[in-house]
Structure 1
Amino acid sequence: MNNRALEKLEYSKIIAQLADCTMSNLGRELAENLLPTTEEAEIRRRQQETQEARELLRVYPDLPWSGLKDPRQAVGRAKRGAVLAPEELLAVADSMRASRRLKRFFAELKEHYPLLQEYAANLASFKPVEDAIYRAILPGGEVADEASPRLAALRRQIRSHSVRVKEKLEQIIRSPEWQKMLQDPIVTQRGDRYVVPVKNEYRGQFPGLIHDQSGSGATLFIEPMAVVEINNDLKRLKAEEEEEIERILQELTARVVAEIDQLELAVEALAHLDFALAKGTLSQRWDGVGPKLNRDGYIYIKGGRHPLIKGRVVPVTIWLGRDFTTLIITGPNTGGKTVTLKTVGLFVILAQAGLHLPAELGTEIGLYQQIFCDIGDEQSIEQSLSTFSSHMTNIISILAEADRDSLVLLDELGAGTDPAEGAALAQAILEELHRRGAKTIATTHYSQLKTFAFSQPGIENASVEFDVNTLQPTYRLLIGQPGSSNALQIAARLGLAPELVERARSFMSKAETEMADLIQSLEASQRAAEAERQEAERLRRESERLRQEYAQLKEKLEAQRERILARAREEAWAEVKKARQEAENIVAELKARLAEAPSAQTLQAAYDARSRLRKLQADKAVTPTTPSVATGGRPPRELEVGDRVKVLSLNQEGTVVGGIKPGVSAVVQVGALKMTVRWEDLRLRAGSDPEAGQVQGAGSLMSAKTAAIKRELDLRGMTVDEALYELEKYLDNALVAGLNQVYVIHGKGTGALRKAITQALKEHPRVKNYRHGAANEGGIGVTVVEL
């Protein structure tokens, strides 16, 4: 990738933005040295790395990444045998801490983010060395007292001696004997010795050692003899302190050197992770996307935004490389032609550097071996070249190298000379580049090039839209439509006399006038079509929104319906249980009365109990949803054994098994039960009866259940309350179905469920007996129930 293209497309400014996203000099250096590559495998790897970093930052915005410093200089000095200063040791410890935290973080991510995991594999934990440094060195770079017991003891002695010296000196400056000799009643230091300021005329009367004098000579700084010995001890202690600090720093440096190889690998990994996460951060700031890459040189930029333009940016959508390989962009100045040109070139460079693009999903970038640019004012005073000559020199060098693997960007091709010759020259250059297969985008004002694009296959016109009503560019690119300079319309809108505008129009050739009118007509049609497209898109989005709202509402109603039905079923089942219990109590009372010796009282009590039972049956009967099915028709004229009948009071079907007394009663079997039913309570059911199968009452539901009931009930995995509820329903259905033995599967587990089921079976009035299953029946994980 030639440097001229990088310079003209302002790639260095992008790199500056990337460098600002790094956390340390480690990543900044890699960012500042990033260059695009032409190796496809490397480009794809870089793009995947950026995508992983972007996704990682989205999912984990609070990475353990703070405090990272560049320890490489310190590590290099340690390798050469130097003793590291406290600040250097802190930088090393900060890097060790970052390595340890990130290693643990990536270990928890397991197989996710494979490329970042490759870097993380070289991270290591240096916890003992890290802790030793932080324990010995304070954040400001001072060696802590706790760095060693000897250092702590020396510093205690130093503080004690300092206090003694100050106390002695305080006594001297407060003493009336010496006060008249002192310039000021203060204690100060000269070098590492404590002194007092003495007037020069008393130098022979004040006993002590002179260490300094003022600039005027009027004041001498004298160390009183009373503190000389203490100061000597203090100086000795401080020398020992420095020796101990040096020993501590040597020891810590030696521990760093012992980990130097693994530390260098970890620092390199931290640099790459810093750089990768900077790419992800830049992608977030741009709201960027990873482009799809191809080897065919095909470019499709969807909603691209130039990353160096501040403020509101009008996205550009442009494509090149399939239906056409040369694109000629025309239109007025300040309309965005050059920005479009730079956006395409910069996006290709960014993609091949491994960075995301500020564009929409679906953007695709072809891979190129070279990008050539001729953009901007190329005038050179030093070389005595005019703008045109400079442009031509650059274009000649481009023609010497451009081929089918090249992207060529030419701004204002042929400008700076006679329009007719410039247009002819531009046409020849474009024709040659097209012949070579180079992908070319050129901007121009020449009308001849618009006609040239119409007449040549593989070459396409495009224009930047301009609103002549507001005299403002819209910055929208219209591919397939040539643009016009709109000079006459702009002049008229600005107030140029209409007759002058018409006069200027008369100087144009008929072909030029027709071409301008055609272009204006195309532009008007394009704007109308675009307005309709936007309206259609708005309606489509509105329709999609309504569809989603409908789907959500339907789902909500379905859920509400299920909740209501479930509640209704629970209430109905509770009512059935209550009625059944009441019926059983009445039956038990009836049996007890009948078991007693016959008497008028017991017979009356039995009759009363039977009346209450019939009343309960009438009260709790479920009314069918179709009255004609339950009550329609008349009792049968005659019945035979085997006839199918409907028992109205039970809302169930059964079979006549005998006991036929015409007009009075018959014995009917319903499920496993046989009962005598009054004649008026029966309705004959024929096999071809159109009403068959339409009954929707509780009886038909129970019939459907009993027809499919199994001999075993699996309660494993349920709570105790859920299991007891299911057991109650199952036993009722099993009784109606005529089953005399069933298997309740509850599993072994903790035994809590088994105990609750055993207690429920013990209290159930229809359970004759129960036992644990035999070895071949499931053992204690199954209870066998006789009904």
Structure 2
Amino acid sequence: MSIGRLSTVLIQQETLDLLEWPRLCQQVSTFAATKLGAIAAQQLVIPTHQGDSERLLAQTQEAYRLDELPPGLKFTGIHDIGDALDRAGCQGILQGDELLAIATTLNGARQLRRFIDSQEEVPVLSQLVSELRTYPELEQTIHHCIDERGRVADRASEKLTGIREKLNHCRDQIYQKLQRILQRQGQAIQQPVITQRGDRFVLAVKAPQKDAIPGIVHDSSTSGATLYVEPHSVVDLGNRLRQLQRQEQAEDDAVRRRLSHQVAAVQPDLEQLLAIVTSLDLATARARYSRWLAANLPRFTATNEQTTLRQLRHPLLVWQQQHEEGPEVVPIDVIIRPQLRVIAITGPNTGGKTVTLKTLGLAALMAKAGLFLPAREPVELPWFSHILADIGDEQSIEQSLSTFSGHIKRISRILAAIQEPGDRAKLDGEAASEEEATAAAPANALVLLDEVGAGTDPSEGSALATALLQSLADQAQLTVATTHYGELKALKYQDDRFENASVEFDEVSLSPTYRLLWGIPGRSNALTIARRLGLATQVIEQAEATLGTGSHQDVNQIIAGLEAQRQRQEDKAAEAAQLVAQAERLHQEVTDKARFLRQREQSLQQQQTQAIQAAVTQARAEIAKVIRRLQQGQATAQEAQQATDAVNKIAQQHQPAPAAPAKAKPGFRPQEGDRVRLPSLGQTAEVLSPADEDGKLTVRFGLMKTTVSLADVESLQGEKVEMPSKPKPQTTVPAAPAAPAVRTSRNTFDLRGLRVSEAEAVLDDALARAQGPIWIIHGHGTGKLRAGVQEYLKHHPQVQRFEAAEQADGGTGVTVAHL
């Protein structure tokens, strides 16, 4: 590695440490589900290509979505099997628990792939698991041979089954013999239990009575009062047991050796599986950390787009607030126009300038590493190939470096890193040489400088800082520097690639607000703070006199005026935002009210329609019932009249109120077959016969027929009927319009064959009992009976009028008398 490359790697690692990137990685690792995922999260890799960062962000976004779906991304059963795979690859024999961990890892990986494949719109994760091979046959073989405790199961081989059966039988024989000895020699036993020393079964015998139980002494107690003796009667069985145990171990090793060879045969695929599962766990950890942080997906901008980071919070401070009861985090707004190259942040000490640098640097690193940013949408920032920082005090006693020297050495490494040709943006066109490209295009780097030029003589430090920032404006994509030098504030007015910002300071409470203000440089508050902190007045006045009222004082006054103007604009913006919020709230209330009224109107209309339909249905049923009764001859004309009145009443109650009609248009003359309206009844009827000389016409609506006057009808367009110019004088007493006539056996009288005098007697009795019109059948004959009947009806006081019946009811052979 060249010296220049080594210097670049060194400054990059220093930047990560200065921005506390390892601490953030440690926090992300707490959201990992597996040990491998936690280890990977503790050392998050920063990609060197924008495409890799975009792929990581896509993984995080899809994992974010999947983790919200039940059951979510589960990593149950997945273990770190890397060491076991390495040992299997070296022809080693794996232990039972290692083989079991491989089997459960295969199953866990298969469940993950199955869940991802069952979801839609996760192309990146689907592509990631597409190369996953989980070897279900290997998993089944391991589970068949290894039990849940990690021991080789009896079913692993027939030979092992036979050996273990012999072992159990031999062990049972030893126990039986020892139990008999305990019962026979109880006085010589110190403790009536069977125990083991090494792999031999022994009894605890009292030392003075060891001869009572002859055997091999394998151990004794600390006091020597107890001897652990293997009786001679079980020695042979003990030897047999040891031989069987060796055979069992050999067969156990053979089974595990066979399984280890199967694992070694697919070692590359299992290592790839482990890497894929780790990537999935790492993506899930990034997603869960982003959700906890209430962060949003960032988008990498082009060189001609604006950087937008609104309400950006420092993630480590958010963690401190949530887990360590730290102070509330004050967010900052970072809006950087694409033509800007240098941002100079000024303000008092402990005002938040350094935190602002670290917040911006961490945001750029997080986006590159595939993490969401704790900022309000939209989150837009460039992808920087290098993020380089000089933050903090670099004083070192061991290296004999002052603060200034430490800063200069680090800045030198920063300049060397961004001047590497590979980090330059390439010019368009084939004719541009590498030297031209290097000279024309700035390096795609973010440079963060804290207290640039500090630690030396103020005049020289200011000059050095000015030259350094002007050089970085040509060489780096973006530089953000904090400073106390007033001369740097004026660079904005000399070069449009520069911008000023400041951290707000409350002069009343003498404390910073940690808010970042753009476009306004910070002004010196040293004398103000000193005065309010009680420094002697004469000292303050002498300092003011020494400072003078020259350009420095003028600049402070201008800055003060800008701050006041900015405060007024913020107040007005807050008032405008409040008015907008109030208007939006009122608009929402009106919208909700209108929606409620529409829904209520629809509901009422529906209820009214249902009520009308129910009433009409009920009325039709009643009419049909009355008609059936009338047809059966069981009802009177009075009942028919009552039913008709009920129908009219229902119609009048439920008929919608008609709109105010226009002025009546005379000239309408109804003809047979026309549709007319009966305003008094609220009905539309069909004309059955044209009007007679008395201005009467017969109409039908529904099942009912009736005779009405021309004055009681109008056209469907509201036109009134043109009445006859010379109406015939009425010979009968005017009365209300007759009720619709319904002929039944009760109101029909057959007079055929009777003399006129006999017919008059029948009519007199019929008219006395009649409740409505009656039908008189007299036939045609000579016409004498018809003339007598009509003459009688003409002079009868109860009869209003009479007329020939309809053709269907007998025509001129029947006369209908209306009372």
TM bucket (normalised to shorter chain) is 0.7 to 0.9
The SS at the match of 1:292 is strand
1:130 to 129, 139, 148: 139
Per-residue CA deviation, residues 352-392 of structure 1 (Å, 9 max, x unaligned), is 22222222211211122323322111223343232112222
What is the distance in 2 between the residues matched to 1:404 and 1:242?
Answer: 66
- 8 Å CA contact 1:35–1:353 kept in 2: the answer is yes
- 8 Å CA contact 1:667–1:674 kept in 2: the answer is no
- Match in the other structure for 1:571: 611
- Match in the other structure for 2:512: 473
Equivalent residue runs for 1:263-342 within 5 Å? 263-296=270-303, 298-309=306-317, 310-311=320-321, 312-342=328-358
1:395 to 411, 414, 435: 411
The SS at the match of 1:59 is coil
- Match in the other structure for 1:165: 174
Shift of 1:660: 1.2
Per-residue CA deviation, residues 306-338 of structure 1 (Å, 9 max, x unaligned), is 122222211111133525321111100000101
1:417 paired with 2:424, answer no
1:56 paired with 2:66, answer yes
- Match in the other structure for 1:457: 496
What is the distance in 2 between the residues matched to 1:201 and 1:341?
Answer: 85
- 8 Å CA contact 2:664–2:719 kept in 1: the answer is no
The SS at the match of 1:473 is strand
- 8 Å CA contact 1:103–1:124 kept in 2: the answer is no
- Match in the other structure for 1:667: 698
- 8 Å CA contact 2:676–2:713 kept in 1: the answer is yes
Q: Which amino acid aligns with 2:174?
A: V
Change (3 A) 1:334 1:690: farther
Equivalent residue runs for 1:469-618 within 5 Å? 469-510=508-549, 511-593=551-633, 607-618=637-648
- Match in the other structure for 1:717: none
- Match in the other structure for 1:646: 677
What is the distance in 2 between the residues matched to 1:544 and 1:94?
Answer: 56
Q: Which amino acid aligns with 1:242?
A: Q
- Match in the other structure for 1:357: 373
1:427 paired with 2:466, answer yes
Shift of 1:112: 2.1
Change (3 A) 1:678 1:369: same
Q: Which amino acid aligns with 1:580?
A: R
Change (3 A) 1:678 1:204: closer
What is the distance in 1 between the residues matched to 2:663 and 2:694?
Answer: 15
- 8 Å CA contact 1:300–1:365 kept in 2: the answer is yes
Shift of 1:89: 0.7
2:392 to 376, 390, 399: 376
The SS at the match of 1:361 is strand
- 8 Å CA contact 2:59–2:283 kept in 1: the answer is yes
Q: Which amino acid aligns with 1:578?
A: Q
Shift of 1:206: 4.3
- 8 Å CA contact 2:134–2:273 kept in 1: the answer is no
1:37 to 25, 47, 51: 47
- Match in the other structure for 2:779: none
What is the distance in 2 between the residues matched to 1:681 and 1:243?
Answer: 121
1:446 to 460, 479, 485: 485
Per-residue CA deviation, residues 180-235 of structure 1 (Å, 9 max, x unaligned), is 5x565554322211123446666666422233455676654321112223323332
Shift of 1:437: 5.7
Which has more radius of gyration? Answer: 2
Q: Which amino acid aligns with 1:278?
A: A
1:15 paired with 2:25, answer yes
What is the distance in 1 between the residues matched to 2:389 and 2:586?
Answer: 49
Per-residue CA deviation, residues 552-587 of structure 1 (Å, 9 max, x unaligned), is 443344334333322332222122122112222333
- 8 Å CA contact 1:467–1:473 kept in 2: the answer is yes
Change (3 A) 1:254 1:548: farther
What is the distance in 2 between the residues matched to 1:628 and 1:217?
Answer: 122
Change (3 A) 1:202 1:620: closer
What is the distance in 1 between the residues matched to 2:407 and 2:241?
Answer: 79
Question: Which moves more between the two structures, 384-393 or 191-200?
Answer: 191-200
- Match in the other structure for 1:743: none
Change (3 A) 1:634 1:481: closer
Equivalent residue runs for 1:241-260 within 5 Å? 241-257=248-264, 260=267
Shift of 1:606: 5.7
- 8 Å CA contact 1:294–1:364 kept in 2: the answer is yes
TM-score using structure 2 length: 0.75
- 8 Å CA contact 1:644–1:655 kept in 2: the answer is yes
Structure 1, unpaired ranges of 5+: 594-601, 692-787
Q: Which amino acid aligns with 1:326?
A: V
What is the distance in 2 between the residues matched to 1:395 and 1:127?
Answer: 56
Shift of 1:625: 4.6
- 8 Å CA contact 1:469–1:493 kept in 2: the answer is no
1:619 paired with 2:627, answer no
Shift of 1:666: 0.9
- 8 Å CA contact 2:297–2:372 kept in 1: the answer is yes
Shift of 1:590: 3.7
- 8 Å CA contact 1:9–1:342 kept in 2: the answer is yes
The SS at the match of 1:443 is strand
The SS at the match of 1:426 is helix
Structure 2, unpaired ranges of 5+: 1-8, 322-327, 420-441, 722-819
Per-residue CA deviation, residues 489-528 of structure 1 (Å, 9 max, x unaligned), is 2122222344443332222131222222332333233334
The SS at the match of 2:517 is strand
What is the distance in 2 between the residues matched to 1:628 and 1:56?
Answer: 61
- Match in the other structure for 1:759: none
Q: Which amino acid aligns with 2:501?
A: A
- Match in the other structure for 1:679: 709
Change (3 A) 1:46 1:184: closer
- 8 Å CA contact 1:210–1:221 kept in 2: the answer is yes
Per-residue CA deviation, residues 528-567 of structure 1 (Å, 9 max, x unaligned), is 4323433433443344344334434433443343333223
